[in-house]
Amino acid sequence: MSQLSLNLVAISIFVITMSALLGPVMRLSPVVPAIATASVLGLAALDTLTWQGRGSTLMLDWLAGFSKEHRARITRHEAGHFLVAHQLGIPVTDYTLSAWEALQKGHPGQGGVQFDTQFLDAELQQGKLSASMLDRLCTIWMAGGAAEAMVYGNAEGGDDDRGKLRALLNQIRFSTADTQQKERLSVLQAKTLLETHWAAYEALVAAMERREPVEECDRIITAAIALPENPSLS
Convert the pLDDT of each residue in 84-112 to its tens digit. Answer: 999 999 999 999 998 778 777 877 667 79
Q: Does a structural domain hold residue 231?
A: no
Q: Does a structural domain hold residue 161?
A: yes
At residue 1, the pLDDT reads 42
Proportion of the chain above pLDDT 90, given as a percent? 50
* More confident call, 169 vs 16: 169
- How far apart are the C-alpha atoms of 145 and 165, rounded to whole Å? 13
Q: Are residues 18 and 80 in the same domain?
A: no
pLDDT greater than 60 at residue 8: no
* More confident call, 31 vs 204: 204
Closest listed residue to residue 103, CA positions, set 56, 170, 46: 56
Proportion of the chain above pLDDT 70, given as a percent? 68
pLDDT greater than 50 at residue 2: no
At residue 129, the pLDDT reads 85
Q: Does a structural domain hold residue 234?
A: no
Q: In this predicted structure, which of 33-47, 61-75, 211-225 has the lowest mean pLDDT? A: 33-47
Does the predicted model carry a pTM greater than 0.75? no
Q: Does a structural domain hold residue 58?
A: no
Q: Are residues 92 and 193 in the same domain?
A: yes
Q: Average pLDDT, stretch 9-22?
A: 59
The total domain count for the chain is 2
Q: Average pLDDT, stretch 184-207?
A: 97
- How far apart are the C-alpha atoms of 23 and 9, rounded to whole Å? 20
Q: Does a structural domain hold residue 120?
A: yes
- How far apart are the C-alpha atoms of 217 and 228, rounded to whole Å? 20
The whole-chain average pLDDT of the chain stands at: 80
Q: Are residues 95 and 45 in the same domain?
A: no
- Print the domain residue range for 46: 3-52
Q: Does a structural domain hold residue 10?
A: yes
Q: Are residues 201 and 95 in the same domain?
A: yes
Q: Are residues 86 and 180 in the same domain?
A: yes
pLDDT digits (tens, 9 = 90+) for 109-158: 677 999 998 887 787 778 788 899 999 999 999 999 999 999 999 998 89
At residue 174, the pLDDT reads 94
Residue 86 maps to which CATH number? 1.20.58.760
Q: In this predicted structure, which of 28-32, 108-112, 178-182 has the lowest mean pLDDT? A: 28-32
pLDDT greater than 70 at residue 42: no
Residues 6+ apart with CB under 8 A from 184: none
Q: Are residues 112 and 13 in the same domain?
A: no
* More confident call, 58 vs 188: 188
The H or E element containing residue 67 is none
Q: Are residues 8 and 107 in the same domain?
A: no
Q: Are residues 109 and 157 in the same domain?
A: yes
Q: Are residues 42 and 151 in the same domain?
A: no
Q: Does a structural domain hold residue 232?
A: no
